[in-house]
Amino acid sequence: APSATTPRPTPAASVQVGACASPGRDGVVGPHPRLDRADRDLNGDGVPEPIVVDRSLCSAEGNCYWNVFVQPQAGSSDCARYVGTFEGGALEPLPTSGDDSMADVRGYWNLHGGRLLLQSYRFLHGGYRIVDALLCKRARDDTLECADSDR
């Protein structure tokens, strides 16, 4: 039988979305971080955007907080900017995009009993925001059955 879980509050980011920030120090980061990088080219310009996770904040189910940054153009005097945090045990870039040609991203948050919370993020007005969320469960044939599906 699935056990009840108590939701944990989402940790607060150290800086506001759009602020100058340092990947590895800013975003959702704990007091004793164990950092990993998962940089991806989100806007198709051939330069990966820094994505940094603090593994010390990941849950037992593998859910983590992935901080996303945008680097300034080469030769610019501007700073790197924090543009949001993806939540999930896995991330999936989507074929659609938001402002500045930044790819939409789906986060898979592992719940209990084969259930997942799918959160879709879109880059709007200088930062990533959740634009859709679905509660899903894994069926016996390994497909996902989601709350808005016909099944």
Distance between alpha carbon 63 and the CA centroid of its chain, in Å?
10
DSSP one-letter string for the chain: -PPP-PPPPPPPPSS-TTSB--BTTBSS--SS--EEE--B-SSSSSSPBPEEEEGGG--TT--EEEEEEEPPPTT-----EEEEEEEESEEEEEEEE-GGGPEEEEEEEE-STTEEEEEEEEEETTEEEEEEEEEEEE-TTS-EEETTS--
| pLDDT tens digits, one per residue of 1-57 | 555 555 567 789 999 999 999 998 999 999 999 999 999 999 999 999 999 999 999
- Residue 113 predicted with pLDDT over 90: no
The tokens for 13 are 């980011």
| pLDDT tens digits, one per residue of 114-142 | 899 999 999 999 999 999 999 998 888 88
Bridge partners (DSSP) listed for residue 138: 144
- Residue 150 predicted with pLDDT over 70: no
Per-residue pLDDT at 72 = 86
- Residue 100 predicted with pLDDT over 80: yes
Distance CA 85, CA 98 (A): 16
| pLDDT tens digits, one per residue of 56-91 | 999 999 999 999 999 987 777 789 999 999 999 999
The tokens for 56 are 């010390």
The whole-model pTM stands at 0.87
